[in-house]
Amino acid sequence: MKLHIVTHESFEAPGAVEEWARRKGHGISHTRTYQGDALPQSISGIDLLVVMGGPQSPSTTTRECPHFDVRKETAFIRKAIDAGKMALGVCLGAQLIGEALGARFAHSPHREIGVFELTLTPDAEGDPIFSAFPKRFLVGHWHGDMPGLTPESKVLATSEGCPRQIVRYSPKVYGFQCHFEFTRETIEGMIDSCGDELTRGEDTRYVQTAATLRAHDYDAINQRLFAFLDHLEDTHRREREAASAELRPSR
């Protein structure tokens, strides 16, 4: 399987997503917009598109951030989805998937920075992946916005601070407002680059300290991400097997 990962800032790294792909021996290509990389011209070599987070929002202009072009990114995401590719958006990436599908992002009722509990919704009971998850579990957060919803989308998980944490846009397209991919290394990068957000403003009910962030067990959170990615891997394998079967000559 081949993954293409779009990263907007060095400190919002793929973390455990890339770790999983390397362990599995999957191909990985990158667009690092903060380095000036262009998006691929073709999506033919992509099986899973992963769009990472960033301090930007879908309303950020190229004047405000020259290396972030929301129109180009959402067009690329829509192209991949229309071609039947699997897609996962994380934080900003989840919002961009929603935008690509015509759903406007929104501000979350609360900023969330830290590790907090998610609660699965009744719609998760019918999901082939999250139906196997516990009703409540811990995951990482660092956000102030949340993805928009299409008429077909389903919210699979919420938190006390945000009503749209995991969104299934289709069986092959998911948006995570939360961060399953955080590792000790990536959380250190977030603290170094965005640590001012830990004390910014009055909305700090769901904002933890740097010391608390460093003390969490991200390995356990990553295992849930790996279970999700394993399912996408199985989906890809089944599709390839079905395609191969159709090409075999009948006896």
pLDDT of residue 250: 63
Tell the CATH topology of 2-225: Rossmann fold (3.40.50)
Residue 127 near residue 105, CB atoms below 8 Å: no
pLDDT higher than 70, residue 12: yes
- Phi first, then psi: give them for residue 143, nearest 5 degrees: -160, 165
pLDDT band at 251 (very low <50, low <70, confident <90, very high): low
Cβ-in-10-Å burial (0-12, 13-18, 19+) of 50 comes to buried
Whole-prediction pTM: 0.96
Asked if pLDDT for residue 113 goes beyond 80, the answer is: yes
Contact predicate 106/58, CB 8 Å: no
Q: Tell me how far apart the alpha carbons of residues 159 and 138 are, in angstroms, rounded to a whole number.
A: 10
Pairing of strands 106-120, 154-158: antiparallel
Lookup: tokens for 160: 């006390």
Q: Average of pLDDT values for 176-189?
A: 98
Residue 204 pLDDT: 83
Model confidence pLDDT, tens digit, residues 13-30: 999 999 999 999 999 999
Domain locations along the chain = 2-225
Closest CA to 33 of 17, 183, 4: 4
pLDDT tens for each residue of 20-76: 999 999 999 999 999 999 999 999 999 999 999 999 999 999 999 999 999 999 999
How far apart are the C-alpha atoms of 130 and 123, rounded to whole Å?
A: 9
Look at residues 196, 175, 194 and name the one whose alpha carbon lies nearest to residue 186.
Answer: 194
User: Does the pLDDT at position 212 exceed 90?
Assistant: yes
Q: Name the DSSP class of 47.
A: S
Distance of CA 121 to the CA centre of its chain: 19
User: Among 163, 180, 165, which residue's Cα sits nearest to residue 50?
Assistant: 180
Torsion of CA 99, 101, 106, 108, to 10 degrees: -110
> Could you read off the pLDDT of 147-167 as tens digits, one per residue?
999 999 999 999 999 999 999
pLDDT digits (tens, 9 = 90+) for 71-98: 999 999 999 999 999 999 999 999 999 9
Under 8 Å between Cβ of 84 and 169 = no
Average pLDDT, the chain: 96
pLDDT confidence bin for 203, thresholds 50/70/90:
confident
